[in-house]
Amino acid sequence: MIRRCRQEYPVRLMCRCLNVSSSGYYAWQDRQPSSRSLDNDRFLERIRSIHEDSQGVIGAPRMHEDLSAEGETASRNRIARLMAANGIYGWPRRKGRRWSGRSNLRPHHVRNHLQRDFTALEPQTKWVTDITEIATLEGKLFLCVVIDLFSKLVIGWSMHHRQDRHMVIRAVEMALWQRQGIGPVILHSDRGCQFTSDDYQRFLEKNALICSMSAVGHCGDNAACEGFFGMLKRERVHRTIYRTLNMARSDLFDYIERFHNPPMRRRLARQDQKFLAFLQPSVKTG
């Protein structure tokens, strides 16, 4: 305040009124920025860049993840303080109404294999799938995705104006095309009629996929898929008015293949590099 008002009032008068020493003010004015201040300026510049690239949807938690992936050591609270102090915010989450309909009967041979354990130590061992609806001015568009719990990649997806078993099967087929190896894979879903249909169940058996289904009225049993849909709608869908179905299809494709999957692939590649670097000393010793 003294620096801002020094053209209107004498510095000594302002220092005396504010009960600070004039020598302390001049020492503060000539002091060089601290290393922490310089780091904050550097963080803030990178935060603005990442926030702009994400079209203003990334909040402090994901901003911290992106900066940590780049090798920065700033804490999540520090990133949150810098963003709040400079008016940088993510896109807020909407509150939805709780669904109170009835679930379909789970086939007698199917059970919940995941039991809310959404961790996977190896790729292509645990997949989750679900359907969500996107509103457009031409009507509803339905999106079905298949997510690998190890990499968090959307490895299969399908869109259609009707949510039927054929749309679900196409999404699983896309995931199977990218599958490597013949090991068992658990494919978890809710009890929607598309997943309990005979065609879907026969398709899973034909391709050696282990069917897993949620309990009745427990959306947390498929929280991994619900979380992805929440991010998709918060970061893209709720910020856009889709005039046509094709416009929605194009934007959803852009989000999955150009916004969500590439960072997941880069993060997976960095994990592989760290693991190889960890193994290298032991290989030399051997």
CA 235 to chain CA mean position, Å:
9
User: What pLDDT score was predicted for residue 116?
Assistant: 86
Looking at the chain, the whole-number percentage of residues with pLDDT higher than 90 is 28
User: What pLDDT score was predicted for residue 146?
Assistant: 95
Q: In which band, very low, low, confident or very high, does the pLDDT at 6 lie, cut at 50, 70 and 90?
A: confident
Domain 126-273 matching CATH 3.30.450.20: the answer reads no
User: What pLDDT score was predicted for residue 217?
Assistant: 66
Q: In which band, very low, low, confident or very high, does the pLDDT at 74 lie, cut at 50, 70 and 90?
A: confident
- The per-residue pLDDT for range 215-249, each reduced to its tens digit, is 776 778 888 899 999 999 998 999 899 999 999 99
User: What pLDDT score was predicted for residue 95?
Assistant: 57
The C-alpha atoms of residue 93 and residue 140 are separated, in whole angstroms, by 21
Mean pLDDT (whole number) for 176-200: 86
Q: In which band, very low, low, confident or very high, does the pLDDT at 108 lie, cut at 50, 70 and 90?
A: low
Mean pLDDT (whole number) for 107-125: 83
Strand ranges (DSSP E) for 204-282?
A: 209-213
Looking at the chain, the whole-number percentage of residues with pLDDT higher than 70 is 88
Sequence spans of domains, the chain: 1-31, 35-91, 126-273
Residue bearing the bigger pLDDT, 240 or 91:
240
Q: In which band, very low, low, confident or very high, does the pLDDT at 272 lie, cut at 50, 70 and 90?
A: low
- CA-nearest of 87, 86, 66 to 76 is 66
User: What pLDDT score was predicted for residue 99?
Assistant: 47
Residue 57 CB contacts under 8 Å (≥ 6 apart), including other chains:
90, 91, 234, 235, 236, 239
Torsion of CA 270, 272, 273, 275, to 10 degrees: 120
User: What pLDDT score was predicted for residue 281?
Assistant: 63
- The per-residue pLDDT for range 44-65, each reduced to its tens digit, is 888 888 888 777 778 888 888 8
User: What pLDDT score was predicted for residue 254?
Assistant: 94
- Other CB atoms within a 10 A radius of the CB of residue 219 amount to 13
Q: In which band, very low, low, confident or very high, does the pLDDT at 142 lie, cut at 50, 70 and 90?
A: very high
Helices 35-53 and 60-69: crossing angle, nearest 10°?
110
User: What pLDDT score was predicted for residue 135?
Assistant: 93
Mean pLDDT (whole number) for 60-82: 86
User: What pLDDT score was predicted for residue 104?
Assistant: 58
Q: Round the average pLDDT of the chain to a whole number and report it.
A: 84
Please say if the pLDDT value at position 275 is more than 50: yes
User: What pLDDT score was predicted for residue 98?
Assistant: 54
User: What pLDDT score was predicted for residue 58?
Assistant: 80
